[in-house]
Amino acid sequence: MRAVPIRVRLTLAFALVMAIVLAGVGLLVHHRVAGELLGTVDQTLRLQAAEALSHHGHEQIVDPDASGGTTLAQLVGPDGAVATSQPSGLPPLLTSAQLTPVLHGRRVLRTVDIAGRAGDWRVLAVPESGSGAIVLARSLAPRAESLDHLRHELVLILPLALLAASLGGYALAAGALRPVEAMRRRAAAVTAEQPGRLPVPSSGDEISRLAVTLNDMLARLQAAFEHERRFVADASHELRTPLALLQTELELALRRPRPREELEEALRSAADETQRLVRLAEDLLLIARADQGPLPIRPEPVAAAEVLVVVASRFAVRADALRRELRVEESEVLLRADPLRVEQALGNLVDNALQYGAGPVELSAVEADGVVELHVRDAGVGFPEGFRERAFDRFSRADEARSRGGSGLGLSIVDLIARAHGGQAGAGNRPRGGADVWFSVPRLPGEGVRPLQPVGAARG
């Protein structure tokens, strides 16, 4: 049944329901017509009985051909014996037991078989005051013949009505599913290399809304494909540059005999490029892991001041070489976070501030709305116009940053770590110049914030 097209299944279901409905209608019509015809016979008998009672003593009990049919009539005496029959020679229309209620003053209306007469007969017996009863009978053969004609018409008309309804249902189902088929054909042609959109019907119904939803999904998939293409292209570019430099350094070192000092310089340069490759590979691995699911973290209570000091100490030598100052805002705020991940994110922010900023680099923890924001500020030129909106995108770099060898993954990793802790990352420019980049993590109860203090770095 699964291989049967939907329009056929809908038509079969519709035909089954219509067959049940038409059969029910046919039975109802037959029952109502049968009742109406029987009521007409009963009404004729009542009128003839009233006429017979008013003309009692005449030669004829009733008009035998009244109302288009032959009426049988009998006068029954008080003892139950038939006194007069019309026509003569009729057997008793009712038995003694059936006449007993009539002789006691009750009317009797029933359907009976009459000996020597074909078919069913409708019999009405009415008491006659003081002299017995009048019994009238009319044949139900005309009623049976009318019902037989009605059955033949229903047998002919109802299947035709069912066929017409089924064809109409099939046409309706086919018309309703035609947009779905058009969407299916268009979707079959959609590939990553040839993206497209599904046709949206103008009906505004469920199928139209489905087409809009699917188009939105295709747009998201296309954006994801484009993002992956850019990711692969940028990763290839970033890996190719240090690999090329490493290859060049080694080739130059091996081209001819060189003094020890030149060999050491070539090895140091190769080591720097190798370190850059290792860091880039680690960053790509971290991003790939985050794409497969939530970034794994091991949250634990940790003091914000401890994390800030550890990160500042790690960059103290580099800051001293650049004649830049590292300042840490002492704080008693407690975090519930993975210290290794938080240090990694803060390290990326400090590295960016030292590489692209100017002036002192400030590290601080700020409580806000139940979270702690870890800020890294500098006094450089800040973010270029229009760059902040995409600062946390992968491989997103300002033009001036591209010339300084950055991979464009640092801020995106900060954003991943923040979201893994249930927080977020943000960036902005300070009113007096410089960048302010931060990310938030959950906090534990704590209090106290002390002024900024220099941490083991030369003052600029």
The proportion of the chain whose per-residue pLDDT surpasses 70, expressed as a percent, equals 86
**What domains are there in the chain, each with its CATH number?**
7-145 (3.30.450), 206-292 (1.10.287.130), 300-454 (3.30.565.10)
234 — pLDDT class (breaks 50, 70, 90): low
Residue 384 DSSP code: P
- pLDDT computed for residue 393 by the predictor: 76
Alpha-carbon span 433 to 358, nearest angstrom: 10
**In the prediction, which pLDDT does 401 show?**
42
The answer to whether residue 122 scores a pLDDT higher than 70 is: yes
Closest of 252, 241, 286 to residue 402, by C-alpha: 241
CA 440, 441, 443, 446: dihedral to nearest 10 degrees? -60
State yes or no: pLDDT of 181 exceeds 50. Answer: yes
- The one-character DSSP state at 328 is E
Residue 415 exposed, middle or buried by CB count within 10 Å (0-12, 13-18, 19+): buried
The winner for highest mean pLDDT among 23-37, 83-97, 400-414 is 23-37
Task: Please report, for residues 180, 221, 414, the alpha-carbon distance to residue 188 in angstroms, rounded to integers and kept in the order given.
Answer: 12, 15, 40
Taking the C-alpha atoms of residue 255 and residue 167, their distance in angstroms, rounded to an integer, is: 86
Specify the range with the lowest mean pLDDT, choosing from 58-62, 79-83, 362-366, 453-457: 453-457
| Alpha helices in 299-409, H assignment, sequence order | 304-314, 316-321, 339-356, 399-402
Confidence bin at 104 (pLDDT 50/70/90) = confident
Question: What's the confidence (pLDDT) of residue 458?
Answer: 40
399 band by pLDDT with thresholds 50, 70 and 90: low
Altogether, the residues listed in the chain come to a count of 460
What's the whole-number mean pLDDT along residues 9-17?
Answer: 91
Contacts of 396-403 with CB under 8 Å at 24 or more apart are: 398/356, 400/356, 401/356
SS (H, E, C) 4-64: CCHHHHHHHHHHHHHHHHHHHHHHHHHHHHHHHHHHHHHHHHHHHHHHHHHCCCCCCCCCC
Task: Provide the H-helix boundaries in 123-259.
Answer: 141-188, 206-255
Contact 127, 13 (CB under 8 A): no
Contacts of 311 (CB under 8 A, 6+ apart): 343, 346, 347, 350, 363
179: preceding bond cis by omega (within 30 degrees):
no
Most confident by average pLDDT, 34-43, 53-62, 277-286: 34-43
CA angle 396, 380, 394 (to 5 degrees): 10
CB of 443 closer than 8 Å to CB of 335:
yes
Query: HSE (CB half, 13 Å, CA atoms) of 15?
Result: 17
pLDDT tens, 295-353?
788 889 999 999 999 999 988 988 998 899 999 988 888 999 999 889 989 988 998 89
Enumerate residues 6+ apart whose C-beta is below 8 A from 195. Answer: 218, 222, 225
What the block records as the tokens of 158 is 């109802």
Confidence of residue 402 (pLDDT cuts 50, 70, 90): very low
> What is d(CA 378, CA 76) in angstroms, rounded to the nearest whole number?
127
Asked if residue 183 lies in contact with residue 217, where contact means CB atoms within 8 angstroms, the answer is no
Q: What is the pLDDT of residues 128-157, one digit of tens each?
A: 876 788 999 999 999 999 999 999 999 999
Does 400 or 65 have the greater pLDDT score? Answer: 65
Q: 185 pLDDT exceeds 90?
A: no
Q: What is the mean pLDDT of residues 239-268?
A: 75
pLDDT score, position 15: 93
| pTM > 0.75: yes or no | no
- Regarding predicted confidence, which is higher, 260 or 279? 260
Q: Give the separation between CA 25 and CA 341, rounded to whole angstroms.
A: 75
Most confident of 270-274, 370-374, 397-401: 370-374
Span 363-382, average pLDDT: 89
In this predicted structure, what is the pLDDT of residue 59? 60
Q: Would you state the pLDDT for residue 459?
A: 37
Interatomic CA distance for residues 68 and 143, integer angstroms = 12
185's tokens: 């054909």
